[in-house]
Amino acid sequence: MNPCHADTAYSAEEQELENSEWIEALDYIFHEQGEGRSREMLRLLQNHLLKKGVSLAEATLNTPYRNTIAPQQQPGYPGDIALEQKIENIIRWNAMAMVLQANANGSGVGGHIATYQSAATALEVGFNHWFQSRSPEYGGDILMVQAHAAPGLYARGYLENRITEQQLVNFRRELQPGGGLPSYPHPRRLPDFWQLPSASMGLSTPSAIYQARFMKYLENRGIKPANGGKVWCFIGDGESDEPEVLGTINMATRDNLDNLVMVINCNLQRLDGPVRGNGKIIQELERSYRGAGWDVIKVIWGSEWDELFSRDQDGLLQARMDRAVDGDYQFYTVSDGKTVREHWIDGDPRLAELMKTLNDDEIRLIRRGGHDRKKLYAAFDRAARNTSKPTVILMKTVKGEGMGSSAEGQNTAHQQKQFSAEDRIAIGRRFGIPMSDEQLAQAAFYKPAEDSPEALYLHRQRQQLNGYLPSRTTQQPRLTAPSLSLFQRAIEGTTREQSTTMAFVRMLASMMKDQALGRYIVPIVPDEARTFGMESLFNQFGIYSSEGQKYKPVDASSLLPYKEAKDGQLLQEGICEAGAMASFLAAGTAYANFGAPMIPFYIFYSIFGFQRVGDMIWSCSDAMAKGFLLGGTAGRTTLNGEGLQHQDGHSHVIAATVPNLRSYDPAFAYELAVIVRDGIERMYQNDENIFYYLTLYNENYPMPAMPTDDGNINIEQDILNGLYRFQADSREGHKVHLFGSGSLMQEVRKAAELLRGFGCSADIWSVTSYTELLRQAEQRERHNRLNPESPVQNHIERQLADEQGIIVACSDYMKILPDSIARWLPLPQVSLGTDGFGLSESRPDLRDHFEVDARYIAWTALTELYRQGTLTLDSLQQARSQLQIPTSKLDPASL
């Protein structure tokens, strides 16, 4: 071979000759020395060019725009293709009919047709041959599908006798007689069917990744047998624009998640138009996933292309495919065969010669790979056999395939919810649905007889795969909640100052050491373990790593070294709240997905919870996840110095919007102990579908002992209800009731002492949960509205029924939190809170700024007494002077 110089001009013929010589040499190495040596030689050449400064990024991360698996590598198809096509067409028809009927009844409930039509073949290949349910011998697969494809799974469930016709009729009408179906995969709404929610685009990817990882975590810890199980997650190519999709894929490679298969339905369209009109989304995704270390399988072309590729000796067809952009491919979908031929040939007579064996109709009907069973089966087979890394299948489809020219591949396909009678009949006939024109025009459902070949085949294939999917079961051992004695140190209190965070860490360690509970506890932290004082858990219980620890940590000689272990219990998720939240979801749903009643405790900076990943928390609610979310370094004024984006004064307000989330803001260690014990009892002993949000503080102060019950007080129940009298003041004076929560309880206690100096009698009340008080009050109010003849009191009314005076409620959260219960209080109330932005300041100055320190609490009580006519103006002015309260001050809410 002649040396190549930059200034040397080569003719096309010379270049082709040189190319063939290189390929011949590589073929020789492959045939004589094998695949490994061939790969080694290419790597050698690549490294040689890299040393010379030649960039090879795209060359190394992208393969040609064609199927990854060559025809000669395809396994034989094990099913009855003709029968499977009939079943698929019936499901396609019923899925479409659901949406058409739902929109024809005037309810305007909407629905989507096109997404399932593009994914139908891939899903059917999976249902007939790959997706396995749980059995004694097999761990079971988790199936997550595109939310808009839900009608297709309902339609299949109908043929499987798991969904009734009345439910199909009531698609998106859940309150109708006979029951209905939710729009998307919502386990809470269909708890025996859907395994996990996927309705919020982008979130199903991290959820799938961390479910697969948690499966490995359970196996490595000996809680789940290592008997297989895969996570199959289907998303759309447009969905990949969500940052959560590509933002978490490196985790899957780091943990060698060969039990994870992502299938990206590349129909080239978003909801309103092309995903990458001027580019290629499949090539773009290939670069991202290959760069992250995934096994990438492209399924682009159907079998009809194989013969053309075999005759494309000069690579002309491949070059044209590589040159065309997605906007072109979408144009081909909606054009006639002649137009496609002319556009495809692009004036090249050699391409014209290559394609002359196909007539215009054949060109028009050439399938994309995502609609070819054989190509898809080959991809699924390779993915299922992968034993070293996660797999992504990039399958090219047509959005709305089978819906006819008015919808197939059109930018409007996603919004297509109605068809004319003529269109319905045409689609029904194309699908081979054996019904009359009148029935097709009405979009009637079709179900083959139970003894028909279609029904027998469908059931037989699922029986061979252990049963039907998706399916959610909750067969797990029930746990018994520990007695409060497990948290004896918290109950007894201590004069030594500590934070509620430290009290929690000690409680967590006690639970992890407990013989009955310990193995089920899952601590989760996003790279802030030392901030929360959890480093003592590293050496005791280990940080989970699928590879163990291959290095000696720099602190190996210290008392608290960083210790990773294959059977480690702590999940240290790095700086990734979305990943940590996905781990919480995986652990919190393990009782259903893996039959293991895991108890996750996920601790995080409280402002980085609901504000940052609130959508994932809502997804946990949908999935009926269980466990404890712990907002550490909580409050707007307690975390001094950190400033605006760290100081949380609103998470409890947002948490109140999640219906099954129990939110508490404990001030003392014993309150925390009571709440955690009760949460374990309710979630894991009584099997309630709830989860918890608890705020923890980093301010140190003495922890009092838990008050004892008397004949009229059940202190544990009052803590759980949200309000109890912490300290009564029996002295004579102007009666004041001070409500405190969390760390600001210390300011409330100081304020009570100040008020006593001004002739007041100040009772202190601990409000452990405004949210629980509000919900119970609203429930009792509703009961009384429906049953006015037998009214009942709420907890607030019972606690304060015989009290006199005024109430000042102080919270390290926005005033709207204590204000939420104001209308049920029998006494005048004033709320103090931390409305506004956080600031970088010291704790005392922050509390002065937000007017929630002891001085302002006392002053607020005195001004309210003055307004009530109980206190004279002279006494109030004297108090202003003593408390150093200014007459004018910048409103903290305005900064």
Residue 700 has pLDDT above 70, yes or no: yes
The radius of gyration of the chain from alpha carbons, rounded to an integer in Å, stands at: 33
Q: 138 is written with which tokens?
A: 């097999």
Q: 194 is written with which tokens?
A: 């859907």
Q: What SS3 state is found at 61?
A: helix
Whole-number Cα distances in Å, 798 to 725, 726, 727, 792? 12, 16, 17, 10
- Of 12-16, 302-306, 890-894, the one with minimum mean pLDDT is 12-16
Cis peptide bond prior to 470, omega within 30° of 0? yes
Q: CB 41: neighbour CB atoms within 10 A?
A: 15
More confident site: 735 or 312: 735
Is residue 844 within 8 A of residue 810, CB to CB? The reply is: no
User: CA 66 to CA 70: how far, in whole Å?
Assistant: 9
791-818 per-position pLDDT tens digit: 999 999 999 999 999 999 999 999 999 9
In this prediction, residue 333 carries a pLDDT of 78
702-726 burial, b if ≥16 CB within 10 A, otherwise e? ebbebbeeeeeeebbebbbbbbbbb
More confident site: 843 or 409: 843
Q: Give the number of residues written for the chain.
A: 895
User: CA 269 to CA 264: how far, in whole Å?
Assistant: 12
Average pLDDT estimate for 88-101:
94
Average pLDDT estimate for 635-663:
94
Query: At 416, is the pLDDT very low, low, confident or very high (cuts 50, 70, 90)?
Result: low
Residue 53 has pLDDT above 80, yes or no: no
Residue 407 has pLDDT above 70, yes or no: no
More confident site: 167 or 416: 167
What type of residue sits at position 559? L
Is residue 590 within 8 A of residue 513, CB to CB? The reply is: no
Residue 1 has pLDDT above 50, yes or no: no
Residue 413 has pLDDT above 60, yes or no: no
In this prediction, residue 19 carries a pLDDT of 80
- Closest Cα partner for 206 from 339, 390, 58, 371? 390
Query: At 59, is the pLDDT very low, low, confident or very high (cuts 50, 70, 90)?
Result: low
Q: What SS3 state is found at 455?
A: helix
User: pTM here?
Assistant: 0.92
The H-or-E segment that residue 645 falls in is none
Q: CB 221: neighbour CB atoms within 10 A?
A: 19
In this prediction, residue 2 carries a pLDDT of 46
- Closest Cα partner for 626 from 478, 423, 812, 742? 478
- Closest Cα partner for 151 from 122, 118, 115? 115
532-590 per-position pLDDT tens digit: 888 888 889 998 999 999 888 888 888 788 898 999 999 999 888 999 999 999 999 99
595-620 burial, b if ≥16 CB within 10 A, otherwise e? bbbbbbbbbbbbbbbbeebbebbbbb
Percent of the chain with pLDDT over 90: 72
In this prediction, residue 61 carries a pLDDT of 85
- Closest Cα partner for 334 from 221, 223, 410, 247? 410
The H-or-E segment that residue 571 falls in is strand 571-572
In this prediction, residue 4 carries a pLDDT of 47
391-396 and 599-605 beta bridge pairing: unpaired
The pLDDT mean for the chain works out to: 91
Residue 462 has pLDDT above 90, yes or no: yes
Q: Is 346 left (phi over 0), alpha (psi -120 to 50) or beta?
A: left
Cβ neighbours of residue 176 under 8 Å, at least 6 residues apart? Answer: 170
More confident site: 802 or 362: 802
In this prediction, residue 3 carries a pLDDT of 45
431-461 burial, b if ≥16 CB within 10 A, otherwise e? bebebeeebbbbbbbbbbeeeeebbebbeeb
- Of 71-75, 321-325, 443-447, 846-850, the one with minimum mean pLDDT is 321-325
In this prediction, residue 145 carries a pLDDT of 97
DSSP codes, 764-788: EEEES-HHHHHHHHHHHHHHHHH-T
